[in-house]
């Protein structure tokens, strides 16, 4: 190996530490240069962001009732007018609850259309070609009894109620006799007052032939019908409960706005704010009288 080759190899070895030191020095300078920007970003994070529109503070001072009324109408608006971020929570809860109530009501109506169509197509088709809608209790009774029974067993002569107690009309006639007759198993003369009272009771509650039904030979369809009517009922009750939660959200937001107005601008709820260090926070509670 020549002397010049050894000299060049030793020179390349001596240049490596200097290059590494240069990279370290450049990285250190970059970190030092980024510290002011990071500090400014952290200070901006510590600075509370006001959500109140311009002029809202003066408006609330002149009209202190505006915040509670606004929160009662639209939850969270009174808090947002006062620059309090928790108003977003009331508003988000309102949007979610209303959307949930609407979805549940739509589900209930969809199930109702399904079981009414099923009842007409299977249980009522043989008794008429005209689809006639009944009330809620009528459809509930269709889920309990296989048949409605006839309304009048003697259409061409003297009125005779249904006697088969396994049918809905037979059950109603049995209940009428138990209510107005001394012995429900012994029917008095048709002209007696007790019989007329029982007959009036029956005629006011029994299903007429226009709404007659029968699930005979279609028990599987009746099971599907029961499940659908139960799902519709549950969805309707759930939507009613959600609407109650909507009303409660309005009241809580209004009460919160009233307490905030009485006890100070910062409200009575504790606030979490960043501390002096990156990993420190303070829990503050400001109350002014």
Contacts of 177 (CB under 8 A, 6+ apart): 184, 185, 187, 198
Crossing angle for the helix pair 87-118 and 219-263, to the nearest 10 degrees: 160
Whole-model pTM: value is 0.64
Residue 47: predicted pLDDT = 42
Residue 78: predicted pLDDT = 83
Confidence category of residue 86, pLDDT binned at 50, 70, 90: confident
Residue 153, classified by CB atoms within 10 Å of its CB into exposed (0-12), middle (13-18) or buried (19+), is middle
- Give the number of other CB atoms < 10 A from CB of residue 14: 8
pLDDT (average), residues 35-58: 50
Least Cα distance to 204 among 247, 175, 229 occurs for 175
pLDDT (average), residues 234-261: 92
Confidence category of residue 185, pLDDT binned at 50, 70, 90: confident
Tell me the pLDDT of the chain averaged across its residues.
Answer: 79
Q: With a cut of 70, say whether residue 67 has pLDDT above it.
A: yes
Q: With a cut of 70, say whether residue 220 has pLDDT above it.
A: yes
């Amino acid at each position: 190996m020549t002397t010049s080759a050894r000299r060049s190899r030793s020179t390349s070895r001596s240049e490596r530490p200097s290059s590494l030191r240069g990279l370290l020095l450049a990285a250190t300078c970059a970190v030092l240069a980024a510290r002011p920007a990071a500090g400014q970003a952290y200070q901006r994070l510590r600075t509370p962001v006001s959500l109140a529109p311009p002029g809202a503070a003066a408006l609330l001072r002149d009209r202190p009732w505006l915040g509670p009324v606004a929160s009662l109408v639209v939850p969270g608006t009174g808090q947002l007018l006062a620059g309090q971020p928790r108003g977003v929570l009331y508003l988000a809860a309102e949007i979610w609850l209303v959307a949930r109530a609407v979805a549940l009501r739509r589900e209930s109506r969809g199930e109702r259309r399904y079981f009414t169509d099923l009842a007409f197509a299977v249980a009522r088709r043989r008794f008429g070609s005209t689809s006639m809608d009944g009330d809620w209790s009528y459809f509930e009774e269709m889920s309990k009894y296989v048949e409605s029974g006839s309304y009048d067993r003697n259409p061409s002569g003297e009125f005779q109620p249904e006697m088969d107690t396994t049918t809905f009309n037979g059950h109603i006639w049995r209940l009428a006799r138990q209510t107005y007759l001394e012995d429900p198993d012994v029917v008095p003369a048709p002209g007696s007052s007790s019989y007329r009272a029982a007959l009036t009771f029956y005629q006011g509650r029994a299903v007429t032939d226009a709404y007659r039904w029968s699930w005979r030979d279609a028990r599987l369809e009746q099971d599907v019908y029961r499940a659908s009517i139960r799902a519709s009922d549950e969805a309707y009750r759930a939507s009613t409960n959600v609407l109650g939660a909507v009303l409660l959200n309005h009241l809580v937001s209004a009460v919160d706005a009233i307490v905030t107005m009485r006890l100070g601008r910062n409200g009575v709820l504790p606030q979490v704010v960043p501390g002096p260090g990156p990993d420190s926070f303070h829990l503050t509670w400001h109350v002014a009288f």
